[in-house]
Structure 1
Amino acid sequence: MRAARRAAPRLLLAACFVASQACAAAESEDQPPPPETPGWHGAVSAYLNLPRGDDAYVTGIATANRGAFHLEARTNYEGMDAYSLFIGYNFAAGNTVRFEVTPLLGVVTGSTHSVVGGFEATVTGPRADAYVELEYVPDASPSGYIYAWSEFALRPVDWFRVGLVAQRTRVYGNSRNLQRGAFAQAKGKYLSAAVYWFNPSSHDQVIVVAVAFSY
């Protein structure tokens, strides 16, 4: 009897320990897993510009996003031998029709020196989308300049876009302040290629061949 009495407290402690471990395991199962740290994603693009009657050149654009944080670098965008770097913040809303806006602030150096402000915006629907990027360079000669690129596209299938394009640039000599045209783009999981044809009915024609790698 005395042995049984001495063993009772030990059994009670063991039972309490097992019960506490079971409760801790149940609580850990009920708690949601910790949020994952967002990874980096973006794209590297090269645009071969072939203006009629002028020298060919390549514009490069690289983007990197982590969560809402956005980084972007451009070459030969604000001018030949100009280099710009931007930071921005991504805002997004909607499901069936999705809206995305990224305000940008940056600097340009090289052939042009200035602080630059702008934005990028996209509206994406089930079979159509629209995109615009705009930046204002206040120190561009002679009194500031607005650079812009915009697209409106239809997507008959997921991997193909076709539509209208417009741009505003001073990189090459051209009598047109706003250039308009058409484009077609094929998109894969990581690679895409496009051909843009500006001012197709004039002597100021510009062909742009673009290749992009996404990660």
Structure 2
Amino acid sequence: MTAGPRAFGALGAFMAAAALAGDREGCCDAAPAAPAAPSWEFTATAYPTIVRGGGDYTSAVVVAQRAALHLEARVNYESVGARSAFIGWTFGGGEEITWELTPLIGGAWGTTKALVPGLEASVGWRRFDLYVEAEYVRPREESSRYLYAWSELGYRPVEWLRFGLAAQRTHAYGAERDILRGPFAQLSWRRITLGGFWFNPGSKEQVFVASIGAAF
């Protein structure tokens, strides 16, 4: 064989090897990366409460969420001086109408000692949303058991403003009315949300609940 054919043969072998190496490298590069583990998200909200003709106090709620896992702790929620903790699982979906549902199970101690099953649910459509939060407080004394509920019907004309109507069923204030109703408004800036809920406006059983929340 002359030098020319041998040179072309060597060049062809080199190009074939380079192409095979490139194919192997591209195959390895195309392998999908392992999905990142879901991160924790936290929110903490304080609720200073002013009761007309009654005792003022502040309750607080801290939530830790990781994917569908929902953990929650509350202070002065079931009653003043009570502590409670919950674990739950969040389900959700929808496109035009979105929804989210979180069943909870937990317990309270302190001034209220009870098993407390609960539920948090929300539905959203365009700029409107409905939020419902409920729990059944089950102490050993059957006469002390009660259903607590909080609901909000909100409208968000812009991203930083939400307002609407709120209602709650509670025995916490010792008033004659079990169900309280009134307007509310919330302002959001980055991770901070400030709000106010005015129940029974104009009556002798007025209750004002402020909210100061942060997400991190």
* 1:79 matched residue in structure 2: 79
* 1:23 matched residue in structure 2: 23
Q: Deviations over 1:5-48 (max 9, x none)?
A: xxxxxx99988875554233212333332211111113100000
Q: Which runs of no fewer than 5 residues in structure 1 stay unpaired?
A: 2-10
- Measured in 1, the distance between the counterparts of 2:100 and 2:57 equals 30
* 1:5 matched residue in structure 2: none
* 2:41 matched residue in structure 1: 41
* 2:102 matched residue in structure 1: 102
Q: Share of identical aligned residues, percent? A: 41
Return the offset for 1:173: 1.2
User: The residue matched to 1:63 in structure 2 has which SS?
Assistant: strand
| CA shift in 2, pair 1:125/1:42, >3 Å | farther
- Measured in 2, the distance between the counterparts of 1:77 and 1:67 equals 25
Residues 1:157 and 2:158 are matched in the alignment:
yes
Return the offset for 1:171: 2.0
Q: Deviations over 1:73-107 (max 9, x none)?
A: 00111011101100111111012321011110111
User: The residue matched to 1:139 in structure 2 has which SS?
Assistant: coil
- Measured in 1, the distance between the counterparts of 2:111 and 2:24 equals 64
TM-score by length of 1: 0.89
Q: Which runs of no fewer than 5 residues in structure 2 stay unpaired?
A: 2-10
Moved over 3 A (4+): 11-21
User: The residue matched to 2:25 in structure 1 has which SS?
Assistant: helix
* 1:206 matched residue in structure 2: 207
* 1:173 matched residue in structure 2: 174
* 2:120 matched residue in structure 1: 120
* 1:53 matched residue in structure 2: 53
After superposition, the CA RMSD in angstroms is 2.6
| Contact 1:76 1:171 (8 Å CA) reproduced | no
| Contact 1:198 1:207 (8 Å CA) reproduced | yes
Q: Which amino acid is 1:45 matched to?
A: T
* 1:111 matched residue in structure 2: 111
- Measured in 1, the distance between the counterparts of 2:146 and 2:100 equals 25
| CA shift in 2, pair 1:70/1:16, >3 Å | farther
Q: Which amino acid is 1:168 matched to?
A: R
- Measured in 2, the distance between the counterparts of 1:90 and 1:128 equals 21
- Measured in 1, the distance between the counterparts of 2:17 and 2:146 equals 74
| Contact 1:98 1:124 (8 Å CA) reproduced | yes
Aligned residues: 215
- Measured in 1, the distance between the counterparts of 2:194 and 2:29 equals 47
Is the deviation greater in 168-177 or in 80-89? 168-177
- Measured in 2, the distance between the counterparts of 1:90 and 1:17 equals 54
Return the offset for 1:140: 7.0
Return the offset for 1:120: 0.4
TM-score by length of 2: 0.89
- Measured in 2, the distance between the counterparts of 1:79 and 1:207 equals 17
